[in-house]
Structure 1
């Protein structure tokens, strides 16, 4: 799903070069010929834009596995990430989702009968990391590669669909120590739920694991903690000196002064959805918001998430070219970094020879202007206007402090789920013995 790489295979392969190409999208071969041949791929540069992996190189291997992390390092990521979940026995692990149905083979395992809906987390059936111990997971389940565009029949790397090994946070930290990285990012979500319902303090678990791995004293690699919950970052700020990244997980057009003031109290940077920078309408970009400018003017670097190679993830304005999309965010919107499933694509972009040409930048490397393609469509055929996007306000950011971890005397979620499961099984047995007539 990388058209630029396809063109380079014909013109920059070390063996031969074709004399020309026939294409529906001239911008991509122009990029390839003009800016991406003979790149110095061994060059190390951890400057802007920062390349942050999303679950490792999860476009190539199952998310958060040893293979995905090694590929992200090999592909030139500046920062690799671990989204932390807790197991039944309280072990912090790297797993892209708290719901094991998303990225493991749990649906085909003996644990499939433990499915439940937990509305505090999501409204779909799941078997959750806290339902199983670490041994249950590592001995009985296999990773499963993500397929975000299965409706388009776009399967990622089928040969390695279930390849790789799961990693605990401690394994991840051991792995990263000797790697050429500028830092690591640890994401923490659902901390309030885990404290109230399961009796675990996620913040404390992460800090203790980092301390045990020596990261409390390490300066070579910075530690970034990301969360969409201000309460989580406030607690980390009180107890550590790590860089804190506030994730805005809703689409907004700008940040009100009250929200900027609130974020500045606990965060060092912000991650935002692509649609909050270039809002889309029926897969066309419509305009560029003021969000990046407002955040940066407040002294907050901005990272855009989540970039992918598949054409189905990109607005039409980028002509099915992931490189053109990155260019729009970096050169057009001025983001400080990208969070991506495909670090190799971002790394190649970072090395392109047209990167710092200023006024001499060729026209084919000029960032796409949001809304231009939409205006080419005749008025009757244009999609209806979108409703206005909201501002991020101070009340959107503010949260009460994290609750303390539940005491042992309180009934646990796990015990309640087991009781509910027992009731369901009993009812099923009764119905089997005495069918309704």
Structure 2
């Protein structure tokens, strides 16, 4: 995105904010519901292809680009506040390493069976997290995003909701929240269970049932089943590799591969409204890395009554099948349009993308 265009987008956001609706009020009525889009376009960590992820600026740009939903990943602070970060380890996406006052907080920890060395959100109060600033996660692939390093705070869930409500007014349409709970079993073991504060925060802001423009997703199973007991909000089971972490800790041999069978999908439908598979479940790549043929995953999920929202589409060569890469630069854009068309042809109901404007453009072109 040219810098001038980016500045204009942010100026639009700033002009919209003074007309913000109260966070305590229901979403303003609009001509277009968030679920009206076919397929739904979900801004993965905001417009993370253009700005540092999980910042209010990234979410705002995604909305202005036409995304139906924005995706905040949530972690917990030491004092039980919900913040938007992809991981509870803060070193990759914040400037915590530049804060000498937090140097002694660096430690080793095992998170979801992986040993990490860094700074962790559960060791910081909300006030301390607010002193940090976001940085680009993958600067080698997205060097342009680094121009905005250390410009934006780490937002709370409430701040994200406030932004959404403000932009609903200025944009004249409903904007959805597609929330992921990160490492819920880990936080539960720390006495920082996420489910109740998440549901309570959403309810305070008018998001209380299955009609609300909200999805809550998780790679774990127990987390979603607990949420189902607390709320009728729509839930989505994510699919990755191996096993859900909570099932590992419970000693249950259940794998994502088993959950992806026809019988497994029917079992998921007992507690979830949709599934969020890695896109390889829908169209795997061949041995040479080129795009393969569609599987039965979408058909089987639909037969079980589940929505299908695969992740994650990214425009850079590094993330594309080999036959859709263009040139030798991993950071250059490849033929993302061809990849998106192939997946849309499978009948998916929505998709996660780092550059939501690309998916919006393709969707609009398909309707004309």
SS at 2:42 equivalent = strand
Question: Could you tell me which of 325, 346, 349 is aligned with 2:362?
Answer: 349
SS at 2:177 equivalent = strand
Give me the whole-angstrom Cα distance separating, in 1, the residues matched to 2:210 and 2:182: 25
Cα deviation code 1:33-76 (max 9, x no counterpart): xxxxxxxxxx9983211001111111111111110011011010
Partner of 2:203: 211
Please give the TM-score of this superposition, normalised by the length of structure 1: 0.66
SS at 2:310 equivalent = strand
Query: Is this contact kept in 2: 1:189–1:229, CA < 8 A?
Result: no
Q: CA deviation at 1:309?
A: 1.4
Moved segments of 4+, more than 6 Å: none
Question: Could you tell me which of 26, 35, 38 is aligned with 1:48?
Answer: 38
Query: Is this contact kept in 1: 2:210–2:232, CA < 8 A?
Result: no
Give me the whole-angstrom Cα distance separating, in 1, the residues matched to 2:203 and 2:182: 20
- Give the number of the structure whose alpha-carbon radius of gyration is greater: 1
Stretch moving more, 123-132 or 180-189:
180-189
In the alignment, is residue 228 of structure 1 matched against residue 219 of structure 2?
yes
Within 5 A, what are the aligned runs for 1:246-325? 246-250=237-241, 252=257, 255-280=260-285, 281-319=287-325, 320-325=334-339
Gaps of 5+ in 2: 3-31, 242-255, 326-333
Query: Is this contact kept in 2: 1:304–1:337, CA < 8 A?
Result: yes
Please give the TM-score of this superposition, normalised by the length of structure 2: 0.77
Over aligned residues, Cα RMSD in angstroms? 2.4
Query: Is this contact kept in 1: 2:87–2:182, CA < 8 A?
Result: no
Cα deviation code 1:384-415 (max 9, x no counterpart): xxxxxxxxxxxxxxxxxxxxxxxxxxxxxxxx
Q: CA deviation at 1:225?
A: 0.6
| Inter-CA distance 214–248: structure 2 relative to 1 (3 Å threshold) | same
| Inter-CA distance 104–292: structure 2 relative to 1 (3 Å threshold) | same
Q: CA deviation at 1:356?
A: 5.1
In the alignment, is residue 167 of structure 1 matched against residue 155 of structure 2?
yes
Within 5 A, what are the aligned runs for 1:144-223? 144-147=135-138, 150=140, 154-178=142-166, 179=168, 180-196=173-189, 198-216=190-208, 219=211, 221-223=212-214
Query: Is this contact kept in 1: 2:66–2:360, CA < 8 A?
Result: yes
